Each structure stands twice: as structure tokens, then as C-alpha cells.
Structure 1
Amino acid sequence: MLKKVIRIVVILLVLTPLLSFLAWYFTPKKYLTAAIIDKTVMKADGQEHISFHWVLNHNRYLKNSTSGYKVSTDYFGFFPKEDTVYDIKGLERFSKESLSLLSDDTDLLYITDTYGIYKQEWYAKYTEANKGKLYGGLSVEDMDFIKQMKNKKKLVIAEFNCLASPTPKILRVEFESLYKVKFSGWTGRYFDSLDETKNLELPGWIMKNYKKNHNGDWSFTKDGVVLVNDDSGTVVILEHGTHLDNPLPFIYATAEGQEHYNLPEKEKYPFWFEIMETDAAVNKTYARYQLATTEQGNQELAKYGIPKSFPAVMSHTGTDYDFYYLAGDFSDNPIGFDASYFKGIGLLKGFFYNAKEPSDRGGFFFNFYKPLLTQILEEANDKVNL
């Protein structure tokens, strides 16, 4: 009897992934031409845009009749090669006429990351003389393409750092006016430890800026949220216990967001986010961030005019144009691309992340990003095929 049970278990272990792959393979293919901008690709694995490619592949979206999207090649931006060699293949290469033709052929634009690459990050050894930007920020050509996409009623999706430094202020203002959103200047992130002696991932510039305005003091030891002003460099620290009852930022979906986009009512978000504003007469907000501040935390935020609740997902959809702004580094998730080849993989999502680990972004990907982008792409595909 035991041997029979073992045989059945072994057969199931072998057949389940095979059947899941076959179910994915025979899912009807769909065709969407997506232009993806990513200027922050340090490695060929393309972590900064892999989440979007994952959703495209999982839902069988192809770029043409024969080819799917490849993480390492199908985007515009920075392309790392061996050692310190790189290529830049952004929209800056295109003339106005070429951008117009590209917008004719493109169904949607997704700006996943424009922060860029800096010399001190790219080169293993550097001096003060060669610090600075290699490539990054929205360009005039990017903005021209964005406007053409809107004029042609094509879908545009943008997310965290599209409007922050190093995007020139004149282009930021133009984008804000075009889509009726506004970057407050504040970005933030959860850190599982603010102890500079223990957490080597704490950016040195954050501590340097804070110490400069606080007589060299940095006495934080617990986890918490760091807020940074893009214009002034001001750093605000919200530490667990002192300023926060719960140190993790959470995203709360509206009832409409839950119903229409299959979003969870509540999901933690432990990575980079930005504080945005939007014109409610033009854009709907489907989800909002919430910081669980104490009274002391409320006072600290009030001192700098920072809200404790702010939009996470904003959208305008209609016959005039379609637009989404995701106010976080949503496409940057450390996920395994191979899992996208298996239909129904979401049923096993609990095996792909640790819900008890505060900094784990796997839960956010499977519970929030995947259903959101799946619905957005489905609606985009329906419009293209009207």
C-alpha cells in the first residue's frame, strides 16, 4: 500500500509541472507590440523590467507572429555587456519621423525605470573625477514619443522614478501637465535595519545627507522608512516604535481596484515608492499607500508637509487615451522567469516567497503586480483587436 502511494505521489510530481507547461504552451497566442523603456539595467537579467516580461510571457503575448519578448533584448535603454562594456539603445537614436513611425506600430509604452546608470556604480574602481551619470532620465525623444502615443490614443504605463532625478525639471513638468499627475519630490523605502553598522545596503548618501543636517547624528538601530526629497536632498527617518507602529508601508486597494483589477485589499510594499498627487477629475486612484505612523510620526511628517496616505495606482481610461501611473518600483522584483512558462503557477505562489520576511517582494509580485498587469494587458489587447 505504501509503495502504491509513493508511486502515485511520484507520478503526480512528474505530471503536474508537465501538464502545467503543456496548458501554457497550448494557450492561444496574442499579439501586442510593447515598447519598454529601462535605463537602469546593471545586469543582463534585466531585473528592473523582468516582472513585465514575466506577465507578457505567462499570458502568451508575442511581439510578432513568431517571437515572444526576451528580457535581455526587448527594451529601449542601457544594455550591459562583458566587464565595463555597454551599449545605449534608447529612443535618443530616433528622429521625429522615426518616432512617429514607431508610435504607429506600437500598441503600448511601458516606462519601467529611468533612474539610469552612474559611473560610480558601473565601474569597479573610480575617482571623484569620473563620478556622474552615464545615462538616465527622461529625454526629449522619450517625451516626444510619449506625446505621440497619447495623441494616437495608445496606452502609456509609467512608474517610479520616471519623474524624479535625473529627469530634467522641464520634462517632468511637461509630463505632469500631459497626464494630470504631480510628483511631490518625496521618495521613500522601507529598510529592515537602519543600523549603519549592520545594514550594508543602506545607501551612504542617505546617511551623509541626514548627518549633514543633524550634527553628524545617526542613532537609528531598528527597521523603518527612509524618505528623501529629490530637490533638496533632505532625509526624513521614520523608525519603528518611535514614529511607526508598523514599519512596513502597505498598499490598500479601493473596492473598485479589488473588483476590477483583482487586487488584494491590503499588500505590503517594502521597496522604493514615491509620493504623488493626481487630479481626481481626470484620474482615478485604485490603490493608496498608508504609513502606520504614531503621533510622533505624524508630527515628523507634518514638519515637512508629507502625507501619511498617498496614491499608489492612478489611471485614466477612455475613448480619448489610456494611462496608468504606478507610484513604486513595481517592475523590479527578484523573480524566476522560468515560472512564467507554467499555467496556474499562481496556485503555488506561496512556494515562491516568504510572507514572514518583511523585505520579500515575491508576495507583492504575485498578489498585486501580476493581477494588475494581467488585467491592464487584457484590456489593451481587447482595444487593439476591436
Structure 2
Amino acid sequence: MWVTWLATPKKKLVIALVDKTVLTTKGQEHISLGWILNHNRYTKTSNKPYKIGEDYFGFFPLKDEKFRLKGLERFTEDQLHKLSDDADMVYFTDTYGIYNNEWYKQGDEGAQSGMLYGGLSNDDIIFLKAVKDRRKLIITEFNTIGSPTRSDNRRKFEELFQLYWTGWTGRYFNNLDPTKNLEIPRWLIENYKKSHNGDWPFTRAGLVFVNDSDQVVILEEGTHVDNALPYIHATPEGQSKWHLPERTKYPFWFDVMIPNLEVNTVDASYNLSLLPEGSKELEKYSIPETFPAITRHLGDDYRFFYFSGDFSDNPIKFNSSYFKGIGFFKGFFFDDRDPLERGSFFWNFYKPMVTQILENEMKLINQNQ
């Protein structure tokens, strides 16, 4: 399998990758894309492969709490336009950034703290518009325009792509008891208590929504939802175009977006198994009961995808990308019965979809040469 991978021809595809949330050199927030690029022999030059810890724009961790910032913010407007000429496509995997208590290991990592670096910047917007004007592929995903992006840059992005953030993000937790589940952020619990007389009565699995004003909404299993675990349902067109499964669980962070459907197409959506009390709770806060997971616009004017989830962050082993045909053995890499595992999402959903998107892109590039 490794020899077959070695014999696979290399394909040059110049990707401007932006990731502002890189705590280690493993590049967890863009590892899934890196896996696909390496597995399919996509290269940044005619023969140089992409390296997870080097080939992106954003935050670069160094030793002893030192770091280097190499984002698009260091370029002039002319240089950004030059980069949009040189790149074949762009992928924004995460702009959430790095916060002081995460980086300097001071205080509670689960509490809110000042930002070290992050947010969609003016320069990012200039670059995205330049790429859009050149009709090159743009892929963005969860938290590209969420906190800590400034509202003016968020509005510019929304107008560029006719896709609007409701202000809400969400995530599944298999246990809402903070004494048993240390994954629940401290700030989330504190913000809920502030508006509920200091109470946090939840002990079962649940779905948590939080907005940019620090409001927190909890849908607890058995009370508000029959099953708190969200599922992504692909449309027939999404299944045929991008090889998506009809139904996929997704237990990680997502955002609630509203697309202009006169301009965009939704290929997959989140569906929640709501009980009557859950529907009432969402209605109270104007949160839609179903919302997009994949939004796209593939027209003659521009080409764009938005993934409404932390799709490129999956706990996968990069070394497996060096083996051709490894997908035949994907069942060994995850236990689908575990609601928290995300390996199945990578192998069954993200990998086939992004592989197909990149294959389509290569065909277009070759046709235009």
C-alpha cells in the first residue's frame, strides 16, 4: 500500500491555507485537510509536499511559550492581490485564534481570557474578495466569522457570500454534570448560572447553544430532545455530488447559519430530535430547528463552500495517509457506537466530500490551462 502510494503521480495544487488556532506543531485544526492532501499526493510545488506545521498562514508555536505570527496581516494590499493570483484556491479552517490562558498556561484554561491572536482581519477580507473576483475556489468553515471577529468584518463576509451568522454556536455533550465531564467550559456554566439564579440542574446528555452575547441555551436529553446527539442529513444532490452518507452524527462544535437560498445551495443540514419542550426553548431564542451543515455557491461568478462545523479538526493519525487504499480498512479506526468519536465523521463524511471537491478543482484547472 505504501509502494502504491509512492507510485501515485504528484499533482500541484497551490492552496492558501489560513489557520489562526494552532497550539502545537501538529496543526490539529487543519490536520484532516493535510491528511487528504498527502494521501492524494497534492503538492505545493511540482514536487514538494505540504507540511502540516509549515504550509499555512496564521499562528506558529515555538518553544518556551514563544510564537511567530505569519498571517495575511503582514502583507500589503498589492501583495494580497499577488497571492490571490498565485494561489489556485483558499481554505480558512479556523480564525478563533489563541487566548492568553491557553498559551501561557496561566489560570483556568476553561475560563474566558484576553486574545493573543485571532479573528477574521481586514486583510483576510481583502484577500477573500480578491480570490472571489478571480473566480477561484474558496472553502471556509466554522468560526471563520464567529467570535472574536469584529462585527464590521463579519458583515463584509456575509455580504460577500450571502451567508449570515445567527450569533449562535452549539455542541453536544454526552454528560452535562460538570463534576463528571471536565470538557464543559467553565465560562459556559457561569454564563448560564448568571441568568438562571445560579442554577445548573443538568446531569444527562445535552445540546448546548451559546451566542455572541454570552446567552446559553441547554437542550437536555429526555426533557428537550429525544436524542441530544445532532445528525447531519445530506440531500440527494449532496449525496450524489460529494459522496456524502445520508445521515452522519456530529458531536463537535458547529454554528447556526442562515444562507440566502436565492444565491446558495444547501447540500446537508443539521436535524435535531426535538421534543415539544425543546421546540419551545429554541423558539424562545429564535434558534431554527434545522440549519445548514454545508452551504455552497458554484457559479460562473464565484465558487464558495461554507462548512458549519469544525470539520477539519478530527483526531486522526496522519501516518495512515501514506498508504494507498487505507480507506478499505476504515472500520478499524473508529467505534461508531461511541457518540463522541469523530473518526467516522472524517472517514465517511469529510474525506469523501473534500476529496471530490479537490478532484473537481483539478479538472477545472487543467481545462483552463
Q: Structure 1 length as normaliser, TM-score?
A: 0.93
Return the match for 1:287 from 262, 265, 268.
268
Say which of 167, 171, 177 aligns to 2:159. Answer: 177
C-alpha distance in 1 between matches for 2:326 and 2:302 = 33
- Kindly state the Cα deviation for residue 319 of structure 1 after the two structures are TM-superposed: 2.0
Task: State the 1:49 CA deviation.
Answer: 0.4
Task: Report the Cα offset of residue 172 of structure 1.
Answer: 0.5
User: What amino acid does structure 2 have at the position aligned with 1:31?
Assistant: K
Q: 1:318-338, CA deviations, whole angstroms, 9 ceiling, x for partnerless residues?
A: 222110000000011110001
Q: Which residue of 1 aligns with 2:221?
A: 240
Question: C-alpha distance in 2, partners of 1:306/1:196?
Answer: 25
Deviations 1:168-207 (A, max 9, x none): 1111111110111000111000011100111111100000
Letter in 1 for 2:215: T
- How many residues are paired up? 364
Within-5 A mapping of 1:166-315? 166-230=148-212, 232-315=213-296
State the one-letter code of the partner of 1:110: Y
Secondary structure of residue in 2 paired with 1:72 = coil
Offset at 1:343?
Answer: 1.2
Unaligned runs of 5+ in 1: 1-19
CA shift, 1:289, in A, is 0.4
- For 2:14 and 2:228, the matched residues in 1 are separated by 40
1:1-386 equivalent positions in 2, closer than 5 A: 20-126=1-107, 131-230=113-212, 232-386=213-367
User: C-alpha separation between the residues in 2 aligned to 1:352 and 1:300?
Assistant: 37
- What RMSD, in angstroms, separates the aligned Cα atoms of the two structures? 1.1
Contact 2:10/2:47 (<8 A) preserved = no
Query: Does the Cα contact within 8 Å between 2:30 and 2:312 map onto a contact in 1?
Result: yes
Supply the distance in 1 between the matched residues of 2:284 and 2:23 (Cα, whole angstroms). Answer: 37
Letter in 2 for 1:356: R
The code of the aligned residue for 1:164 comes to: G
CA–CA distance in structure 2, aligned partners of residues 320 and 281 of structure 1: 14
In structure 2, distance between residues paired with 1:220 and 1:131: 26
Deviation at 1:119, TM superposition (A): 0.4
Q: Provide the secondary structure at the position in 1 that maps to 2:203.
A: coil
User: C-alpha separation between the residues in 1 aligned to 2:258 and 2:106?
Assistant: 40
> 4+ residue stretches of structure 1 with deviation over 3 A?
none
For 1:45 and 1:57, the matched residues in 2 are separated by 14
Note the residue ranges of structure 2 that are not aligned, 5 or more in a row: none
2:171 and 2:254 in contact (8 A); partners too: yes
Partner AA of 2:200 in structure 1: W
Q: Distance in 1 between matches of 2:191 and 2:201?
A: 14
**Secondary structure of 2:35's aligned partner:** helix
| CA apart distance, 1:126 | 5.0
SS at match of 1:150: helix
Q: Deviations over 1:79-111 (max 9, x none)?
A: 111121111110000001111111110001000
The separation in 1 between residues aligned to 2:20 and 2:270, in whole angstroms, is: 26
The TM-score, its normalising length taken from structure 2, stands at 0.97
Aligned partners of 1:296 and 1:235: how far apart in 2?
16
Alpha-carbon distance in structure 2 between the residues aligned to 1:366 and 1:45: 19
Larger radius of gyration: 1
